[in-house]
Structure 1
Amino acid sequence: MSHFGGSLFHFRLLHKFVLIFQIVSTSSTPSSLSAHIRKKCHCGFPAAMKTSWTVHNSGRRFFTCKLYDPDLGMPGCNFFKWVILELLNENKRLKDELKQRKEQESDDQKLEKKIVELGVELEKIRKEKKNNFIICLVFVVIFLLFGKLR
């Protein structure tokens, strides 16, 4: 017999501790989508994304505690969320963000148009100012010439 008494119970208990240690000490690289919607379970760890194979929910994905393993009798912290709900929330967030960006782009385009209009108006005012100066200068010259001629 081994140091643990050789019982299946002790082996499973040791196996649970090894699994917990591996789960806590390693992190898998999630896909960009799941990383974006990744949740933390009640234990504080990033939630694992798993697939349900029950009769009613076959193939549906869900988030759960990394320590959840029904085959080993490990309930984890009972954290559970269907992925579709998180995807819907993420979809709404992305739509809101896109709408905000479009509004910002629209505002930016309006401001750019206004800047161009003001630039054109400024150039027009500069030309008028230059023309007015020339007209005044011509009048001064004419006034001085006619003033000396008398």
Structure 2
Amino acid sequence: MEASCSTSSSVRRRAPMTCYCNKKPVLVVAWTEDNPGRRFYGCPNYWSIICVSGGRKCRFFQWRDDEICERGKVLIPQQRQRIIKLEAKLVDCKKREKFLVVVVALLVVIFVVLCLLR
């Protein structure tokens, strides 16, 4: 039987009111190898080069989701890549569709002009 992901204590964590520099934390998705797709709260200044709160960077960090099982660490990145490729194909199809609409419109115009010239 195939191993599956299950969490015994799936506790939904509340968003913290403020971080260490009194800002409202933002919900972010991690895409690291160990935590693909796992959400966490972080200070809006967490990624900032500018130091805050008295010259020190605020490093507030709190996981929102439970830890991902080993199978999920493999499947989530695979599925994410699949989605990215499908989205790229969709964009390409939409570009082709627009091009075909323009071509058909031009052909209709040419047809009408040729019919009028007869």
- TM-score normalised per structure 2: 0.42
Larger RCO (alpha carbons 8 Å, 6+ apart): 2
User: Which one has a larger percent helix, Structure 1 or Structure 2?
Assistant: 1
- TM-score normalised per structure 1: 0.34
Larger radius of gyration: 1
